[in-house]
Chains A and B, each alone.
Chain A
Amino acid sequence: GAGVSQSPSNKVTEKGKDVELRCDPISGHTALYWYRQRLGQGLEFLIYFQGNSAPDKSGLPSDRFSAERTGESVSTLTIQRTQQEDSAVYLCASSLAALGRDTQYFGPGTRLTVL
């Protein structure tokens, strides 16, 4: 694909349920980032993957959040036992590498609503 894709675009779930969000990065991009953006707020870093290196999970807000990435392809962000405060747009971004100078390309996001 030409850009970063994410699915689903919208997800409504009940409190306590688990959700899985998917990100397909741009082909050839070794770095992948997940962010959370609450309404009217900035981007909150969650986790980043660089190639086959161990991911940087320093931004994950609790142990209910986890993410995986297979090689340099698809990533999934899983939120267990969702809470209302998890409601936000979850954005995925990829870049050619993680050298600090590489532009991040964002996907359209997944809007999560926890009832």
Chain B
Amino acid sequence: QKEVEQNSGPLSVPEGAIASLNCTYSDRGSQSFFWYRQYSGKSPELIMFIYSNGDKEDGRFTAQLNKASQYVSLLIRDSQPSDSATYLCAASGGSYIPTFGRGTSLIVHP
């Protein structure tokens, strides 16, 4: 069974710090990886996607992928209180149906 594992948290970081969110996946056939942000009571919204090994940067966000270790991470630099949310990791492969993790709760305190 395909699984995506995330630490449920909460991960608490001070404002301005780097938040590091991690995710592992079980299906070696996974090709595409996504990070979604979900505010309480709201629907998920895409933050980043990554397909290739290495780093991908977009503003304050950096996604990192290591297919050999089946590991994906999301770094948020200069964390802001508005970044406080649940971050969902998702992986998809040949089946085109993404598998979502349960999400990591991030709290950025002033």
Contacts and interface: CB of A to CB of B under 8 A. Distances in A.
A48 B43 contact: no
A106 interface: yes
Question: At the interface, is chain A mostly helix, strand, loop or mixed?
Answer: loop
B97 A106 contact: no
Interface in A51-77: 56, 58-59
Contacts of B45: 106
Given A106-B43, A106-B45, A109-B43, A42 B101 contact: yes
A26 B51 CA distance: 24
A91 interface: yes
Interface residues of B, number: 22
Contact of B42 (A58, A104, A108): A108
Given A100-B32, A101-B32, A103-B34, A42 B100 contact: yes
A43 interface: yes
Question: At the interface, is chain B mostly helix, strand, loop or mixed?
Answer: loop
Contacts of A48: 96-97
A101 B91 CA distance: 10
A33 B100 CA distance: 13
B61 to A, nearest CB: 15
A101 B98 CA distance: 10
Given A56-B97, A101-B31, 17 more contacts: A31-B96, A33-B97, A42-B100, A42-B103, A45-B97, A45-B98, A45-B100, A48-B97, A58-B97, A91-B44, A99-B96, A100-B93, A100-B94, A101-B51, A103-B34, A103-B49, A106-B45
Interface of B: 31-32, 34, 42-46, 49, 51, 88, 92-94, 96-103
